[in-house]
Amino acid sequence: MTAVWLCLGAYLLGSIPFGMVVARLKQLRDEAHLAGVSAEINPGSLLSHEQVMESLRLYIQEVMPHFK
């Protein structure tokens, strides 16, 4: 099985509709037979703590429920 690594920051989740993120993850899951996803919430340590926490909150509330 395969896992995919994603860069997700407040700027990314704030500028791309959640539906597109969910659709892409589902596509990758189905086509690549993914077993899991590892998300880098703060690539390069460029975000503030508040932005990291907001990105994580959005990911948990808006994206992850589609994969339970």
| Predicted pLDDT of residue 65 | 93
Range of the domain at 21: 2-67
| Predicted pLDDT of residue 63 | 86
The Cα–Cα gap between 59 and 66 comes to 11
| Predicted pLDDT of residue 1 | 41
Mean pLDDT in consecutive groups of 10 residues from the start of the chain, 68 residues: 48 65 86 82 82 84 87
The dihedral formed by the CA atoms of 41, 53, 51 and 4, expressed in degrees to the nearest 10? 10
With tokens 């995919």, the residue in question is 4
The three-state secondary structure class of 17 is coil
Instruction: State how many domains the chain has.
Output: 1
| Predicted pLDDT of residue 2 | 44
Phi-psi category of residue 33: left, alpha or beta, with phi > 0 → left and psi -120 to 50 → alpha: left
Q: Which helix (H) or strand (E) holds 28?
A: helix 18-32
| Predicted pLDDT of residue 7 | 53
| Predicted pLDDT of residue 14 | 53
